[in-house]
Amino acid sequence: MGNGEKKRELILAFESSCDETSVAVIEDGNKILSNVVATQVKSHKRFGGVVPEVASRHHIEQVTLCLADAMEEAKVTYNDLSAVAVTYGPGLVGALLVGVASAKVVAYAHNLPLIPVNHMAGHIYAARFKSEIKFPAIALLVSGGHTELVYMARENSYQIIGETRDDAAGEAYDKIGRVLGLKYPAGKNIDEMAHEGADTFAFPRAMMKEENFDFSFSGLKSAFINTVHHAEQVNEKLNVNDLAASFQQSVVDVLVYKTERALNDFSVKQLILAGGVAANQGLRDGLDELIGKYSGIELLKAPLNLCGDNAAMIGAAGFVAWKNGESADLSLNADPSLEFEWI
Amino acid sequence: MNILAIDTSNETLSIAILKNKNLVATITTNQSKNHSVTLMPQIANLLKQVNMSITEIDRFVVAKGPGSYTGLRIGVTTAKTFAYTLSKELVGVSSLAVLAAPINEVNTVIIPIFDARRDNVFAGAYLRENNQLKNVIVDQHIPLEKLLEKLSDYKRLFFVGVDSHKFAERIKIVLKDKEIQFSANELDYPQAYYLGIMGLAQEPVDIHSFVPKYLRLTQAESQWLEKNQESNDESLVEKI
C-alpha cells in the first residue's frame, strides 16, 4: 500500500457443485485475475448425464491442480488474499464436499476468512463482470438444475419470487435432447436447430394464466415426447428443426411472460439474466424484445463465457458477502438443497 | 519430523499429531456423524491443545482407502490440500493396514475387514515380520466367501475391525479347524497414531495426482466398460 494506493481486495474462490472443478482469483469483486475451469463433460457424456459418484471422483483429481493454476495465473501469493469463498450448495453433495473441504483447509492454513456462497448467487454475480449491479434488481436464473426469479432489494439480499414446480428448463432441454438422439448436453445443439426451424407444433405454455411467478416444464416435455413417439408409430417423419424451434419457443415464451409479470409487480432498475441456459440465444433474444417495452429497466446478461459453472462468479458473489460481514467457521458443511428464502 | 495423521475412511474419525515416532496428541471419535463438519474443528482444537501451528507440520499422512467413498474424499481432500498449500509432504496409507498395525501377533495372518454390504467386504491380509507389517493378500473388494477360501492356507488368523464381528459366525463355520481370534475394545477401531507411524516409514507421494483407493469402479463406469472396452483412452476431464 502506501503512496495513497488503494489496497486491492483479492478473493480466492472454489466451485465444485456439479461437473466442473473451478478455482479463481477475483480482484475487488469485478476483475478476473484467473478463472481455471476443469470440465468433466466428456466423462459424463459416456453415461448421457452427470453421474454423482463419478463427478465427485473427478473433483478430487482436479482440485489442487486448479488451485495451483489459479494462483499462478493470477500471479498472487496467499499473503495477498483477503478471503476464501466457496460454493456450499445447492448441488451434488459429494461434489460440493470436495470444494468445501479444500477451501476450509486453505482458509485455515493461511488465516483467511472463509466465505460460504450460494451457487445461485454466484450465477447472478457472473453478470457483475459485465457491469455494476443496480438495486433493486430481479434476476432470471435458468440452469440445468434451477429455474427461478430472484428479487434483490439491495446488495447481498436474495429472495425467491417464483420457481419451477417440476423440471428445470435446462433439464427439459437435456431430456428432449435424448429423445431426439442428441449428445448430452443438448442445450446448445437444440438452440442452433431452433434457429433453423419454425414454431409449427403449438406445444403448451404452462401456467401462463396463473397469478404467480412459478414455472412448469414437465407438461411441455411430455407433449414433446408424445408428439415424437406418435410420429414414430405412424411412420411419419417430423422436421427436427421445427420440433426444436417449437420446444424452444414454448420455453422462452413462459420464461419471458413470467419475467414480464415480475417486472410489472416489482419496481426495479435492472433485470439480470444468468445461469447455464442464459447462454441460449433464443432466450437472450426474447428478453431483449421484452426489455424494449420498459424504458427505465436495464437488461444485464451474464457474459456468455461465464454462464456455465465457474469459480469467478463465486468470487464475485463471495466478495459482496465478505464486504457485508458474512463468514463461516471450520464446521461449514455442504448443503445440497440450499435455497434462497422466499419473499 | 512433525506429522498430522488423518483417518476418516469409516465411521470412526481419528486424528493424531506425532513428533517422529512419539505421540504428541490424538483424538478418536466414534460419534462423528458427519466428518465434513467435525474434521477441521478437531484438527484445529488438537493443534491448539498442544500449542502447535499447522505450519509446523512437516508431513500429512492420510488413510487412503478403502472405506466410505465420502469419508475418504473428505480426508484425502483435506490432507492433499494441506500438503499442497503449505508445500509439505503427503503420504497415503491403506486404511486396512491402519487397523492391522496395532495387532502384535507373530506367525499369525492379520485380516482387517470393512463391511462392503451384500456379503462383500473390503479386506486384505497382513503378517508381522521383523516388527513390520507385510501385505500377503492385497487389499480388495471381495465376496466374504471368496476371502475365506483364500485364507484356508493359513493356520492362525486374527480378524480385525468392528465389522469383523458381523461375520464372526460364518468365519468360524467356514474356517472351523483354524485358530481364530477377533479384535476387541479399542483395537476394533482405527487409531491415527498407528497411521502416523506407518506414514513415517513411507516415501511421500505426488500431491496433485493423489486420490483415494476406492478399490471399486462406480457402477456407471463398470457398466460402460462392459459395452465399450478400452474404446475411450482420451482425457475425460479438460481445462477450458
Residue ranges covered by each domain of chain A: 10-125+307-342, 132-301
Query: What pLDDT, on a 0 to 100 scale, did the predictor assign at position B196?
Result: 98
CA distance A101 to A106: 9
CA distance B30 to A231: 60
Q: Does A132-301 match A10-125+307-342 at the fold level?
A: yes
Verify that B85 and B103 share a domain, yes or no.
Answer: no
> Grid coordinates standing for A314?
463465486
Verify that B78 and B131 share a domain, yes or no.
Answer: no
Q: Rounded to the nearest 5°, which phi and psi values hold at A184?
A: -75, 140
Residue ranges of chain A whose pLDDT lies below 50: 1-2
Inside any domain, residue B236: no
Inside any domain, residue B203: yes
- ipTM of the modeled complex: 0.96
In sequence order, the 6+-apart residues with CB closer than 8 A to the CB of A283 are: A142, A251, A252, A255, A256, A273, A277
The pLDDT of B115-123, averaged and rounded, is 96
Inside any domain, residue B227: no
Inside any domain, residue B130: yes
SS (H, E, C) A182-212: CCCCCHHHHHHHHCCCCCCCCCCCCCCCCCC
Verify that B135 and B64 share a domain, yes or no.
Answer: no
Inside any domain, residue B226: no
How many distinct structural domains can be found in chain B?
A: 2
Measure Cα distances from B142 to A197, B72, B148, B189 in Å: 55, 19, 10, 21
Chain B interface test: which of A69, A108, A112 (most B C-beta within 10 Å) = A108
Query: In the 8-state DSSP scheme, what is residue B203?
Result: P
Give B42-80 pLDDT, tens digit per residue: 999 999 999 999 999 999 999 999 999 999 999 999 999
Verify that B195 and B88 share a domain, yes or no.
Answer: yes
Q: Count of CB atoms within 10 A of residue B18's CB?
A: 25
Q: Which residue from B37, B43, B77 is facing A333, i.e. has the nearest CB? A: B37
Residues on A contacting B at a C-beta cutoff of 8 Å:
21, 36-40, 42-43, 46-47, 51, 53-54, 56-58, 60-65, 67-69, 78, 93-94, 97-98, 100-102, 104-106, 108-110, 329-331, 333-334
Give B164-212 pLDDT, tens digit per residue: 999 999 999 999 999 999 999 999 999 999 999 999 999 999 999 999 9
Share of chain B above pLDDT 70, in %: 98
Verify that B101 and B176 share a domain, yes or no.
Answer: yes
Verify that B114 and B154 share a domain, yes or no.
Answer: yes
Chain A contacts of B220, Cβ < 8 Å? 46-47, 51, 53-54
CA distance B197 to B18: 8
Verify that B122 and B75 share a domain, yes or no.
Answer: no
Chain A contacts of B54, Cβ < 8 Å? 108-109
In sequence order, the 6+-apart residues with CB closer than 8 A to the CB of A14 are: A22, A23, A63, A67, A84, A85, A86, A87, A99, A100, A102, A103, A311, A314
Domain hosting B102: range is 97-188
pLDDT over threshold 80, residue B229: no
What's the pLDDT band for B131 if we cut at 50, 70, 90? confident
Inside any domain, residue B239: no
The residue that leads in pLDDT, B231 or A133, is A133
Strand partners, B2: B19
A115 close to A135: Cβ distance less than 8 angstroms? no
Query: What pLDDT, on a 0 to 100 scale, did the predictor assign at position A71?
Result: 98
Inside any domain, residue B178: yes
The pLDDT of B111-122, averaged and rounded, is 97
Closest chain B C-alpha to A24 CA, distance in angstroms: 13
Verify that B85 and B102 share a domain, yes or no.
Answer: no
CATH class, domain A132-301, is alpha beta
CATH class, domain A10-125+307-342, is alpha beta
Q: Which residue from B36, B39, B237 is facing A334, i.e. has the nearest CB? A: B36
Query: What pLDDT, on a 0 to 100 scale, did the predictor assign at position A2?
Result: 46
